[in-house]
Amino acid sequence: MLRKAARVAFIQQHLQALYPEQPIPLDHKDPFTLLIAVLLSAQCTDERVNQVTPALFALADNPADMARLTVEAIRDIIRPCGLSPQKSAAIKRLSEILMAEHGGLVPVDMEALERLPGVGHKTASVVMAQAFGVPAFPVDTHIHRLAQRWGLTSGKNVVQTERDLKRLFPESAWNSLHLQIIFYGREFCSARGCDGRVCDICRTCYPHRKHPKRTLKA
């Protein structure tokens, strides 16, 4: 088993070699459309979101137009993404708040983002990182799983995992690593495709691991 410092260095180097460019998976054109896409991605695949958002953004791709839509009109379009009653209400209300309190702009402020309906810490972190380039390390259940497999955290939730990853990796790498880990997880270290003993990173970090790595629930 590699020591933690060696694991961290290897993981960062390996991911950078595999994914020197990190295209943002959700189609968008500005911070507002990214915010809506990230909100829709909760418990939904990026692919499905990208299939749904063109029709939504054809009707309203800015807070002013979105606020004028009815919740029902939004829900009819986003239904394939799941949780459409909650998501449609949140999208309309946050658009109204952006118009009333932020001049129709998405705020470049984590706390202000987290106060918007339907926007939790992870969604706010994604927007800060991908729309504004502010260092953040959004952690979802997939990153949580890989961080545990790679011995980077023993946290039982994404809050602790985020804290541990921010401590281990340089701030300048956070935004890239967030996407690189997601890409790697989908391609090589998925929930079913690797159990902590299959992919290159798992085998390099823990060459003598005998049993599947059990993930503590996020």
* Stretches in the chain below the pLDDT threshold 70: 217-218
CATH code reported for the domain at 4-22+137-205: 1.10.1670.10
pLDDT recorded at residue 161: 96
- Is residue 46 annotated as a catalytic residue, yes or no? no
pLDDT recorded at residue 185: 96
Q: How far apart are CA 50 and CA 135, in angstroms?
A: 25
Out of 122, 156, 200, 217, pick the active-site residue.
122
pLDDT recorded at residue 155: 82
- Is residue 61 annotated as a catalytic residue, yes or no? no
Out of 109, 140, 213, 217, pick the active-site residue.
140
CATH number of 31-132, picked from 1.20.1580.10, 1.10.340.30, 3.30.465.10, 2.40.50.180 = 1.10.340.30
Q: What is the pTM of this model?
A: 0.93
Q: How far apart are CA 38 and CA 170, in angstroms?
A: 25
Within the chain, which residue ranges are assigned CATH 1.10.1670.10? Answer: 4-22+137-205
Task: Give yes or no for a contact between 148 and 215, defined as CB atoms under 8 angstroms apart.
Answer: yes
Q: How far apart are CA 33 and CA 44, in angstroms?
A: 17
Q: CB within 8 A of 88, min separation 6: which ones? A: 71, 72, 74, 75, 78
pLDDT recorded at residue 196: 95
Number of H helices, E strands in the chain: 12, 0
Token pair for 196: 């902590």
pLDDT recorded at residue 218: 59
